[in-house]
């Protein structure tokens, strides 16, 4: 209906009254106007930042580094009992490891010279090693696994 009034010219007084707000003494930029623009821009920036955080919250992305929790979860995944967990922590301390979870990646740590009370635990340590690395092939340090293809330097030139 407003379109009809506007097209016929009947709404021209309304448009003129709106336009008068931008003329004369009303045409000045006031500190309240600047504050209002700054608040709108800050609100828009805050809304964009909050919306950018939504996917992280929805996906429950955890951004933290907790070696103790990792060790606990690995022990739980391998269904290790409390004495086995304690033995792994002691073995990690024996090797001076700050993160005992690395024992799950380094089977060579289960071999070698043992000191103190760990000597009497040699059988338990071997049993743990066999349990954790049952299907893994251990390679000497510096050697490539048997299943890897030869590198370009190993092939005869021809």
| pLDDT confidence tier of residue 15, bands split at 50, 70 and 90 | low
Does the pLDDT value for residue 46 go beyond 90?
A: yes
Does the pLDDT value for residue 54 go beyond 70?
A: yes
Instruction: Give the pLDDT confidence of 86-139 residue by residue, as tens digits.
Output: 999 999 999 898 999 999 998 888 887 888 788 888 889 899 999 888 876 655
Does the pLDDT value for residue 63 go beyond 90?
A: no
Confidence (pTM)? 0.48
Q: What is the largest CA-CA distance in the chain?
A: 103
């Amino acid at each position: 209906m407003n379109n009809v009034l506007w097209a016929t010219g009947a709404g021209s007084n309304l448009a003129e009254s709106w336009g008068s707000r931008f003329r004369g003494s009303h045409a000045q930029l006031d500190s309240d106007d600047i504050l209002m623009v700054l608040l709108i821009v800050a609100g828009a920036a805050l809304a964009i930042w909050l919306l950018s955080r939504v996917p992280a919250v929805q996906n429950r992305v955890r951004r933290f580094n907790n070696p103790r929790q990792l060790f606990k979860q690995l022990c739980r995944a391998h269904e290790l009992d409390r004495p086995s967990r304690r033995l792994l922590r002691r073995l990690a301390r024996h090797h001076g490891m700050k993160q005992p979870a690395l024992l799950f990646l380094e089977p060579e740590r289960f071999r070698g010279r043992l000191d103190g009370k760990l000597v009497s635990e040699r059988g338990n340590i071997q049993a743990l090693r066999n349990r954790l690395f049952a299907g893994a092939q251990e390679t000497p340090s510096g050697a490539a696994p048997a299943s890897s293809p030869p590198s370009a330097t190993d092939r005869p030139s021809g």
